[in-house]
Every structure is written in C-alpha cells, then in structure tokens.
Amino acid sequence: MIESKDVFEAFAPYRGDAIVITTGTAGRPWVDISDRPRRDVSLGGAMGQTTSAAFGLALGLPDEKVILFDAEGALLMNLGVLATIAGKKPQNFYHFLLDNECYATTGGQPVPNSSEIDYGRLAGSAGYASNYNFDDLEDFRISVGEILNEDGPVFVAVKVVPEIENLPMGMRERRPGRSRPQMIADLRDELGIAAD
Amino acid sequence: MAVEQAQILRPETLVNQFKENGVTHVLTIPDSETNYLYELMEQQDWLDIVPVAREGETFGIALGLNVAGKTPVCLIQNTGMLESGDSLRGMALDAGFPLVMIVGYRGWTRRGIISDSAARYTEPFLHAFGINYYLVEYDADGDRITTAFEEARATKRPVAILIGDEYHGWNR
C-alpha cells in the first residue's frame, strides 16, 4: 500500500493543464500539492456520483484532459457507471481509484470483499481502453507519465493506506476551503465558460 | 378515433422542444414506451445520447455537463426517479443549476383507479423534494416543455415533465 500523499506527489509533475477532481478521505492531500487550484474542482454531493459528474465534465469538455481520483467505497455504490463511461469512450478521461479497502471516514470498516476485488479488471471488462493496478510506489512513479499520454478512458487502481477517522463528527478538524459553487465558478472562469 | 389519433403525443414534438431549448445531451435509460423516441433522437446530429446503467447517474452526469456549459436533459421513468433520490438531492437540487427532467409516468391514468404504486408515489415524491412539474399528455401540451426550461433557468432548479401518455405515442 502507498500513502495517498505520495501518489499525488508522483502524479503532480505530469498534471499539466488537466482538470483534477478528487473525492473521499484519500483525496484530501491533493489540495496541498496542486499548483493549479483553479483547475481543481469538487463535484461531490451524493456518494458514488462524483464519478458520474467527472465523466459528464469530460464529455462536455472533449478538448480538456479530465482526471478523477475516485474512492473504492464510492465507486461500489455506482458500479454501473463503469459501463456508462466505457460506452461513450471519452478519450480525455483518466479514472484513478484510491483503494484503501475501507470506509475510512466512518471508522475503517471494510468495504464488501475489500481485499479481493480487482478493480482494474472490472474496468477493463466494462470496456475501458486500458487498466492498471498498482500497490508499489516506485512502479506507479515510473508508469504514471506514460499512462497519462494514452487515449482514455484509462483506469488506474492504486492501493493506498487508509487514514481512518474515529472522532465523532462534531470533534473533527475541518479545514476551510473553497465551496463547491466557488470551485465551479473558478473553473468556469479559467475555461471561459459563462455562468448559468 | 381520428381526433384521438391527432391528439397523441408525438416523439417529434419532444425532439423539437429539445432543439428549441438548446439541449445538447440526453441522459437516459430506454424503456419499453420510448423506443421510437430513442430512435428519433439518435438521428439528430446536434444531440448526444448518453445511455446510463442506472437512473441516479443521470443527475451526476448532468452536473458535470452543466459545469462544462452544456444543456443536458434527464430522460427516465418514474421508477428510476424514485431510485435516484440521493443523487437528485445532492447533485441537482443542492448544486442549484437549471435542469429539466423528463419522467415517464408509468402506471398513471386519467380514467379509473391507479393500481401501479410507481404512479401513486410519483407526485408525492416530487412534492417532498420541492420539485415543480408539468403534465404532458397530448401533443398540444408540448409547449409545457418550454415552460419547464424557462422555469428551470429562472430558478436554477430541476423542473420535471411527467409524460402521461404511456401506451400510445412513442412506440409505434
């Protein structure tokens, strides 16, 4: 397993102008690493649907590279979306999965069949153009640049160390950050897209 | 009989309404009543059809497309809308963007007793979510779709169209 912060640090040099979407506890380190925050956007709101929203963004912006860092608990809630994405074949879509094998934010309970699911094969069988599984940081570091030069949709599953939270919700530290509407407004401004 | 036939909701009316309102993508699961509509939509080069695996996906995809400056429509059956509650809440209502959802009103009838629970729960579900809706039953009702688009744009909220012509117009 790899620290998710290390995954993001290995990815960052290859990000370029890509739009980056993160979700889940494993996605949190990205905010401190990203050098293009106006091209980072949160599309959460219903667990499992960030995947759909990121796909929608890729579909609507075919000239932009769209990179999602998904979470396995969320993906399992919306697994059919793999077929939906593969069916439309968005060449600009890169679907990373940070797999910590558990629901970290609720205390670390395992997701169903947590250690045996091969997410890469699932995506490949659904019809993604290519798929990968990583559990070694050096392998990931060597490969990630080339993977991002492939035509999508590409699926990259990475085993990451869970950062389990056990404190009651009211006692957890909340870091101030941009709201979803602000992130959407910043991204649209960056891309020259008019508001609704 | 001739009068009734002229009243039937035509799929061309739906597609024309989509075009007039700048729709770019239709996010949908085909159902047995919308086969001809699906075929007609596929023939439009200005329209991108996005088949999904479950109706809840449509609201997340719609959010992403809206951020990208596109105009999606969700075309689903009432059964799928009932399943989509959390997606509708978190991705559409909370995000606050204009969205028209076309919902097949399975089981609804103006005459007699509604025995299908999918139909019985459809309007209470929309009331619970505070989503306004318009019934489209006949071809002459087609303008209500433009009304729904105007209301969605003005309020930045989802507005539903309930298609109450389950057995006639779209599958011929």
pLDDT by residue (tens digit) across B89-99?
A: 999 999 999 99
What token pair was written down for B32? 């047995």
Helix (H, G, I), strand (E, B) or coil at B101: strand
d(Cα A50, Cα A144) in Å, to the nearest integer?
22
B170 falls within a domain: no
* pLDDT for the residue numbered A163: 86
Q: What is the number of domains present in chain B?
A: 1
What token pair was written down for A143? 């490969």
d(Cα B91, Cα B82) in Å, to the nearest integer?
15
Residue closest to A81 by CA, chosen among A111, A49, A113, A119: A49
DSSP, res B138: B
Q: What percent of chain A has pLDDT over 70?
A: 100
The answer on pLDDT for A31 being more than 80 is yes
The answer on pLDDT for B61 being more than 70 is yes
Shortest Cα–Cα distance, A164 to chain B (Å): 24
Q: Is A74 on the interface with B (CB under 8 A)?
A: no
CATH code, domain with B45: 3.40.50.970
The answer on pLDDT for B2 being more than 90 is no
The answer on pLDDT for A51 being more than 80 is yes
B99 falls within a domain: yes
DSSP, res B118: H
A149 falls within a domain: yes
Q: Is A127 on the interface with B (CB under 8 A)?
A: no
Q: What is the number of domains present in chain A?
A: 1
A74 falls within a domain: yes
Which domain covers residue B61, as residue numbers? 2-163
Most confident stretch, A93-107, A135-149, A175-189: A135-149
A89 falls within a domain: yes
> What number of H helices and E strands is found in chain B?
8, 6
* pLDDT for the residue numbered B5: 59
d(Cα B77, Cα B82) in Å, to the nearest integer?
9
Shortest Cα–Cα distance, A136 to chain B (Å): 32
Shortest Cα–Cα distance, B42 to chain A (Å): 14
Pair A133, A97: CB distance under 8 Å? no
Pair B119, B78: CB distance under 8 Å? yes
Which domain covers residue A176, as residue numbers? 4-191
B20 falls within a domain: yes
C-beta atoms of A56 and B156 within 8 A = no
Question: Residue A185: is it exposed, middle or buried by C-beta count within 10 angstroms (0-12/13-18/19+)?
Answer: middle
A164 falls within a domain: yes
A72 falls within a domain: yes
| Average pLDDT score over residue span B40-60 | 97
C-beta atoms of A56 and B52 within 8 A = no
C-beta atoms of A180 and B66 within 8 A = no
CATH code, domain with A146: 3.40.50.970
Pair B50, B71: CB distance under 8 Å? no
Residue closest to A71 by CA, chosen among A108, A40, A91, A101: A101
Residue closest to A43 by CA, chosen among A52, A34, A35: A52
* pLDDT for the residue numbered B15: 95
A196 falls within a domain: no
